[in-house]
């Protein structure tokens, strides 16, 4: 259904599925989760909806509060780790929203950011053997060309974090793991590729320490980097950062190698879709109310545990 202004599209659970704001200098760009408006002057308005993408397919059901959790948790991390890397945020104050925006409804779920050219690779850091990394390891003993010791268990901690790049998939397609050499070809700059690896692993390690202090294991994550500066020689973080959509968060007190882990992220939905044999290339489906409710609670719990702050939806 649409609200009376016809600019916010909600699902039956009140989750924000789409925005149609009368702003910007062109048509809205829609990612899997975010709606992006070009404000001109090198600025973008990025609104994080409650859409949920699993296996690179957008579900018909949204997850209430999800967008606000993602947005506010990203802001938390960008601020916490600002000494390690610059980020793309210009403002998160609702007073800086363009006229025509429903400020009350968008509060907590938007960023005004620099318009950047994002590097054409997913910058993934893994500290544990899970997800597609576990599947690759079972098949080849390696992940993205990184050879690992034999006999490792599912979800086992690695001796040190590894960088495993992937392609950037369009909506409906799947990311594909690639080697570091392939990444160098895509970036056309070996030194830049080395710098991306170095900074990504350093930030993962710092974030892992913080998460551990909160009783959470940060198993893996992915970063979006861009280049800025007069000579385009400085890396800047963009998009989202260390959220339940871009990372695996596990409760530390329930962790045990050799099995799937409980999680604070959308792995809960992925597991449900695996159980019902969901066609990972097909259209999204309606999720059962209990899956929606439990997933929403997991996102909120992740925010509150990681930040130490109550979530205010």
- In sequence order, what are the beta bridge partners of 10? 16
In a domain, 209, yes or no: yes
User: Which CATH number fits the domain that encloses residue 95?
Assistant: 3.30.200.20
* Same-domain status, 110 and 127: no
Instruction: Give me the phi and psi of 288, to 5 degrees please.
Output: -60, 150
In a domain, 274, yes or no: no
Residue ending a domain, choose from 114, 143, 161: 114
Closest to 294 (Cα-Cα) out of 263, 273, 256? 263
* Tally of CB atoms within 10 A around 297: 15
Given a contact cutoff of 8 angstroms between Cβ atoms, the answer to whether 16 and 9 are in contact is yes
What angle (nearest 5°) sits at the alpha carbon of residue 240, between those of residues 236 and 243?
130
* Same-domain status, 195 and 232: yes
Query: What's the token pair of residue 6?
Result: 């016809």
Given a contact cutoff of 8 angstroms between Cβ atoms, the answer to whether 15 and 1 are in contact is no
The total of structural domains in the chain comes to 2
Crossing angle between the packed helical segments 66-80 and 289-307, to the nearest 10 degrees? 20
- pLDDT tens per residue across span 256-305: 999 999 998 788 898 899 999 998 887 899 999 999 999 999 999 999 99
- Which residue has 């929606």 as its token pair? 292
* Same-domain status, 203 and 98: no
CA distance 34 to 19: 9
* Same-domain status, 137 and 251: yes
Query: What's the token pair of residue 179?
Result: 């080697």
* Same-domain status, 81 and 127: no
* Same-domain status, 140 and 107: no
* Same-domain status, 187 and 58: no
Given a contact cutoff of 8 angstroms between Cβ atoms, the answer to whether 74 and 108 are in contact is no
Range of the domain at 36: 8-114
Q: Is the dihedral of CA 234, 225, 31, 265 positive or negative?
A: negative
User: Which CATH number fits the domain that encloses residue 221?
Assistant: 3.30.470.20
Given a contact cutoff of 8 angstroms between Cβ atoms, the answer to whether 77 and 67 are in contact is no
* Spans in the chain with pLDDT lower than 70: 1-5, 169-174, 229-233
* Same-domain status, 100 and 132: no
* Same-domain status, 197 and 104: no
Residue 176 confidence (pLDDT): 84
* Same-domain status, 106 and 211: no
Residue 168 confidence (pLDDT): 80
In terms of DSSP H, where are the helices of 81-147?
A: 103-106, 131-140
* Same-domain status, 182 and 255: yes
In a domain, 162, yes or no: yes
Residue ending a domain, choose from 114, 146, 174: 114
* Same-domain status, 192 and 69: no
CA distance 210 to 163: 20
- pTM to 2 decimal places: 0.92
- pLDDT tens per residue across span 38-57: 999 999 999 999 999 998 89
CA atoms within 13 A on the CB side of 110: 27
Secondary-structure percent of the chain, ordered helix, strand, coil, rounded to 5: 30, 25, 45
């Amino acid at each position: 259904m649409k609200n009376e202004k016809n600019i916010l599209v909600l699902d039956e659970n009140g989750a924000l599925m789409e925005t149609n704001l009368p702003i910007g200098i062109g048509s809205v760009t829609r990612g899997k989760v975010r709606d992006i408006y070009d404000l001109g002057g090198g600025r973008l308005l990025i609104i994080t909806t409650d859409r949920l993408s699993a296996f690179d397919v957008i579900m018909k059901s949204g997850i209430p509060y999800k967008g606000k959790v993602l947005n506010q948790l990203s802001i938390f991390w960008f601020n916490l780790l600002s000494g390690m890397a610059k980020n793309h945020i210009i403002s998160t104050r609702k007073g800086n929203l363009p006229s025509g925006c429903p400020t009350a409804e968008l509060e907590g779920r938007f960023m005004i950011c620099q318009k950047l050219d994002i590097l054409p690779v997913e910058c993934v850091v893994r500290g544990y053997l899970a997800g597609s990394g576990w599947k690759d390891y079972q098949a080849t003993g390696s992940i993205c060309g990184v050879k690992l010791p034999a006999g490792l268990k599912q979800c086992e901690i690695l001796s040190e974090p590894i960088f495993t790049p992937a392609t950037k998939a369009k909506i409906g397609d799947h990311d594909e793991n690639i080697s570091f050499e392939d990444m160098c070809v895509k970036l056309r700059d070996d030194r830049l590729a080395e710098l991306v690896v170095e900074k990504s692993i350093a930030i993962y390690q710092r974030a892992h320490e913080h998460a551990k202090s909160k009783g959470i294991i940060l198993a893996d994550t992915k970063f979006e980097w861009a280049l800025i500066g007069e000579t385009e020689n400085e890396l800047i973080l963009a998009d989202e950062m260390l959220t339940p959509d871009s990372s695996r968060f596990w409760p530390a007190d329930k962790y045990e190698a050799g099995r799937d882990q409980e999680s604070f992220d959308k792995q809960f939905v992925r597991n449900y879709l695996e159980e019902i044999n969901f066609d990972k290339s097909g259209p999204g489906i309606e999720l059962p109310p209990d899956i929606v409710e439990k997933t929403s609670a997991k996102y909120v719990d992740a925010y509150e545990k990681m930040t130490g702050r109550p979530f205010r939806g």
